[in-house]
Structure 1
Amino acid sequence: MKIIVMGAGVIGVTTAWYLAQEGHEVEVIDRQPGVGLETSFANAGQVSPGYSTPWAMPGLPLKAARWMLGKHSPLVVRARFDPAMFRFMGELLANCTEHAYDVNKSRMLRIAEYARERLDTLRAETGITYDGDQKGLIQLFRTDSQIEHAAEDMRLLAESGIEHQLLNPDEIIGFEPGLAHARGILKGGLRLPGDQTGDAHLFTRRLAAMAEQKGVKFRLSTRIEGLDAASDSILGVRTSAGRLTADAYVLALGSYSPRFMKPLELRLPIYPVKGYSLTMPITDESRAPTSTVNDETYKVAITRLGDRIRIGGTAELTGFSLRLSPDRRETLELSFNEMYGGGDLTSARYWTGLRPCTPDGTPIVGPAPRYGNLWLNTGHGTLGWTMAAGSGQIIADRISGRQTAIPSLDLSLDRYMS
Structure 2
Amino acid sequence: MKIVILGSGVIGVTSAWYLNQAGHEVTVIDREAGPALETSFGNAGEISPGYSAPWAAPGIPMKALKWMFMRHAPLVINLRPDAHKVGWLGKMLLNCTSAAYAVNKSRMVRIAEYSRDCLRDLRAETGIHYDERTQGTLQVFRDPHQVESAAKDIAVLKADGVPFEVLDADGCVAYEPGLKKFKPQIAGGLRLPGDETGDCFKFTNALGEMAKAKGVTFRWNTEITGLETEGDRIVAARAGAERITADAFIVAFGSYSPFLVRPLGINLPIYPLKGYSLTVPIRDEARAPVSTVMDETYKVAITRLGDRIRVGGLAEINGFNMALDPRRRATLDKSLTDLFEGACDPAEALFWCGLRPMTPDGTPIIGRTRFSNLYLNTGHGTLGWTMSAGSGRLIADIVSGRKTGIDATDLGYDRYLSERQAGHRPALAA
How would you bin the TM-score normalised by the shorter chain?
over 0.9
d(CA) in 1 for partners of 2:351, 2:254: 21
- In 2, are the aligned partners of 1:222 and 1:241 still within 8 Å (CA)? no
Q: What is the CA deviation profile of residues 310-346 of structure 1, one whole-angstrom value per residue up to 9, with x for unaligned ones?
A: 0001100110010000000000000110000211211
- Residue 115 (structure 1) shift: 0.2
Does residue 25 (structure 1) correspond to residue 40 (structure 2)? The answer is: no
- Residue 411 (structure 1) shift: 0.2
| Corresponding letter in the other structure for 1:180 | K
Match of residue 200 from structure 1 = 200
Does residue 374 (structure 1) correspond to residue 371 (structure 2)? The answer is: no
Match of residue 220 from structure 1 = 220
| Alignment: residue pair count | 417
Q: What is the CA deviation profile of residues 173-225 of structure 1, one whole-angstrom value per residue up to 9, with x for unaligned ones?
A: 11100000000110110000000000000000000000001100000111111
Q: Please identify runs of 4+ aligned residues in structure 1 that moved more than 2 A.
A: none
Deviates more, 1:229-238 or 1:35-44: 229-238
Match of residue 47 from structure 1 = 47
Identity %: 57
d(CA) in 2 for partners of 1:343, 1:86: 40
Q: What is the CA deviation profile of residues 283-333 of structure 1, one whole-angstrom value per residue up to 9, with x for unaligned ones?
A: 111210000010000000000000000000110011001000000000000
Q: What is the CA deviation profile of residues 91-149 of structure 1, one whole-angstrom value per residue up to 9, with x for unaligned ones?
A: 00000111100110000010100000000000000000001100000000011100001
Match of residue 365 from structure 2 = 364
Match of residue 346 from structure 1 = 347
Listed as ranges, the gaps of 5+ residues in structure 2 are: 419-430
Q: What is the CA deviation profile of residues 32-51 of structure 1, one whole-angstrom value per residue up to 9, with x for unaligned ones?
A: 00100000000000000000
SS at the partner of 1:55? coil
d(CA) in 2 for partners of 1:263, 1:177: 53
- Residue 81 (structure 1) shift: 2.6
| Corresponding letter in the other structure for 1:357 | M
d(CA) in 2 for partners of 1:34, 1:90: 36
- Residue 241 (structure 1) shift: 7.1
Match of residue 181 from structure 1 = 181
Match of residue 427 from structure 2 = none
- Residue 240 (structure 1) shift: 4.0
Q: CA RMSD in A?
A: 0.7
d(CA) in 2 for partners of 1:345, 1:147: 29
d(CA) in 1 for partners of 2:55, 2:231: 36
Match of residue 248 from structure 2 = 248
For residues 144-183 of structure 1, the aligned pairs below 5 Å read 144-183=144-183
Match of residue 91 from structure 1 = 91
SS at the partner of 1:52? coil
Q: What is the CA deviation profile of residues 60-113 of structure 1, one whole-angstrom value per residue up to 9, with x for unaligned ones?
A: 111111011111110101122311111111000000111100110000010100
For residues 6-405 of structure 1, the aligned pairs below 5 Å read 6-240=6-240, 242-341=242-341, 342-368=343-369, 370-405=370-405
- In 2, are the aligned partners of 1:33 and 1:220 still within 8 Å (CA)? yes
TM-score by length of 2: 0.96
Deviates more, 1:262-271 or 1:233-242: 233-242
| Corresponding letter in the other structure for 1:172 | C
- Residue 151 (structure 1) shift: 0.9
d(CA) in 2 for partners of 1:272, 1:122: 29
